[in-house]
Amino acid sequence: MLNIVLFGPPGAGKGTQSQKLITHYNLVHLSTGDLLRAQIAQGTELGLTAKKLMDEGLLVPDEVVIGMIGSSLKTNPQAGGFIFDGFPRTVAQAESLDRLMAEHQTNISCMIALEVAEEELVTRLLERGKTSGRPDDQDETKIRRRVTVYNTETAQVAGYYAAQQKFHALNGIGPIDSIFTEICGLIDQHQAAAPENPAAATSEVKA
């Protein structure tokens, strides 16, 4: 089973690349941002609480997003694999994801991080804000707060996967298709080196 964590600051291209990866590898896309926005659209109590935090560029509590991911895993028992987009964003979320994966007799294959400088992130998100209708994309102060939250609360999640030899970083600046090709190259190397693959004994993943 192929389970990818796509990682990076807001606007790095996680959602954009996820759309291409789910088609290419036949994966189920689990974006906590999309799940939260669906709750907001339905006007649920959870959505109302999340909206206040999201509009300010702050993280939603761990138990909320962990619960949503747990439910989504249960509702997709036939999935050949998952792409986690925007999750985990804290070490507590990463630990919970490992537990959830173990309950489903699987594990995280690798994390792929897209690296993009702050000024480019701000430019991209303000541009998206012209059409997305997302309040968190329309105000530069809030965008910069999201980047700060990423740097202070989320970036350390990379170390969690690095300790498991599952972390890979890529330059997220450049044509979307070129970045996609690079991500696929990393995933394909990982699959070739996976223990369940008979060719693994002679394959090695280059970080």
The DSSP element (H or E) to which 115 belongs, if any, is strand 110-115
Q: Give 75-96 as a DSSP string.
A: T-TT-SEEEEES---SHHHHHH
* Contacting ligand B4P within 159-188 (CB under 6 A): 174, 176, 179
Q: Least distance in Å: CB of 205 to ligand B4P?
A: 24
Using the rule CB under 6 A, give the single segment among 9-17, 161-169, 183-191, 197-205 that binds ligand B4P: 9-17
Q: Is 112 in the site for ligand B4P (CB under 6 A)?
A: no
Q: Which is nearer to ligand B4P, 30 or 110 (CB)?
A: 30
At its nearest, how many Å lie between ligand B4P and the CB of residue 15? 3
Number of Cβ within a 10 Å radius of residue 169: 16
Among the listed residues 51, 89, 168, 190, the single contact to ligand B4P using CB under 6 A: 89
Q: What is the C-alpha to C-alpha distance for residues 36 and 117, in angstroms, rounded to an integer?
A: 26
CB 78 → ligand B4P: shortest distance, Å?
24
Q: Given the structure tokens 């995933």, which residue do they identify?
A: 187
Q: Is 87 in the site for ligand B4P (CB under 6 A)?
A: yes
CA angle 53, 59, 61 (to 5 degrees): 90
Classified as helix, coil or strand, 197 is coil
Q: Which amino acid is at 53?
A: L
Q: Decide if 151 contacts 46 (C-beta within 8 A).
A: no
Residue placing its CB nearer to ligand B4P in the complex, 62 or 192:
62
Chain positions contacting ligand B4P, by CB under 6 A: 10-16, 32-33, 36, 53-54, 57-60, 65, 85-87, 89, 93, 124, 128, 136, 146, 174, 176, 179
